[in-house]
Structure 1
């Protein structure tokens, strides 16, 4: 069949890469795509992925049998609703299901209603009550823009001054309309862990664990980013914690199949957890594949992604069977100098071919493009995801950094400690 993937980042390159391996894939389109997807699919640069009618027209014109929605914005905009109404198979929830990510307040109320453990919180639409609550809770404290902010609307403040400044910045428009409502919550303590699940028919089919590195610099220092590196599986998670996270995902999936949800949730549900001394607690739910978690989860999937996504899209939970490789996966993100702040584009990238000659190495493109001379150049904050598989955690980490050393562009920025803390064991978080 012909398949259309919406999105243009590293997540979408990884999804397209996995779909392209299936014998069931005929023509593969990615909108808008990037420099990496261009090598395995048809990039569609001029399609407005947040306009359901435009996507529908393209799908009809190109006989698309499956639409895979990668980013959160088209989901929140209701693109899946438009396509499903016309009978297309869509991987991704409708707008109501996407509110689990599109509104942090809605998500917290969902957790409360279904007995899902999470941090104490309150949401505000006015500055003064928000500041009063910050002073009541004390620091450290977490300030979140309620709406979509490209993964950057979360500020972990270590003192009251920073917390109050974060609240003011939200209401002053730092995150646009996303910050018109502000969620303030207690700061949980412990390691973070992501557990994603395919969800359809009220059932969750959990994937393998992954652990992202949000901070920009080594030692978990600097501002939050969209993610600077990730690995899978997570060695510090014990059996009880894994069972607890799975139970949460199953509970949440079941809840999406009943009121107030009017239509069945079909797509990925992302559970972001904190492994606290009281057990796993949910930091957030997302309504799509994580980025960069997808880049280490899908290379470990030992099953046909087309079969899985179609079963999800068509509401056939009994036809879903997941199998996972025993290998470890480590991803190091190469970013533009200055990210997550201002950065320059157009830097020529060299060495990807040499890096991918290493055993077990795949480079997923995030922010890349071709210039007028057909050279591969940087075109975003996060530029490349260097992924390595290995028979051990250490082997995968070493191989990933060996590949990183082979890739060069002006201003290349990356963390040198991806996975280092977890390799030292759970006591590294004590």
Structure 2
């Protein structure tokens, strides 16, 4: 296994309103299913272990783009949406925040019973990864969240987060099992029962090099370990600023969303009927599903899919969010019955935007894009913690408060 990266985030409080979290779960599931259908379970676990992709995923489903709460929100949404279909999907999410994290080893052992994999090995890997980040590094961050995501083929990723009370920061750690053939060379022969998958055993004598490698990691000086990892450092302010965005990338997506209304993109015929604003969101979702690692260097850009609960950069456009969920769900369901044309069309969106980017010259300033999103928010049933968006000329202001309405 390897430690695959870390992210430092501002420690921010506040809960996620039910009207947003329910949509996060509804969008997270078909996004993961699309990744698995097109690229496999290992590809999803590899993406999850990338701190830049993780933050982009959080942003595209409507979480505040740089908040420490993004980790809790994403892992909770994944656990609640994936676990009910774990048998069909082949992915299991264990652990969580606080007391839930302590249940991880037992949950992994139970998964071992269900899949024929060595749950004890997973449990040990869970404890070791937590031990390294919580004790061996001695970096001032105390773990309060530990999630272990495992496939029925034996690969896994760990996402865990610690809190530094003095500097008001949170640090997220990412682990990835990589290629399980190097993790252990052959199935454990002493496990009895129905084998529904490859059996792995971290405590097998042939896994001794792996055990020694883990011990060596714990002996390394923290600075050396940290320098060798991809490091995502998030700002402490809540807003999205021009410097956080690759305006050329964002501009090409805005152009594509508008251009598809007037130009016949043969690859996108199955998406006809979607408005420009939904195509904008769907293109950003498509990039999170299909993009390569280099595409996630500016996670804030993905907030331009569905905004955020704090209305930064703009309120969540509920109508657009719901249409995005419906379109992606439909594409995934038809792909499951060997009709993948619609899912391929959605995947094509990110490719077209990337191709357009090469010779694209943005016409609009970042501030103009944010202004337009806020001015148009009422058209899409925009909502934030302050309430529903209203037309700007409303003398009461941009929002109509609805503190008693959480649906």
- Pairwise TM-score range, normalised by the shorter structure: under 0.3
Q: Which has the higher contact order (CA 8 A, sep 6+)?
A: 2
Q: Select the structure that is richer in helix.
A: 2
- Structure in which a larger fraction of residues adopt strand: 1
TM-score between both structures, scaled by the size of structure 1: 0.24
TM-score by length of 2: 0.25
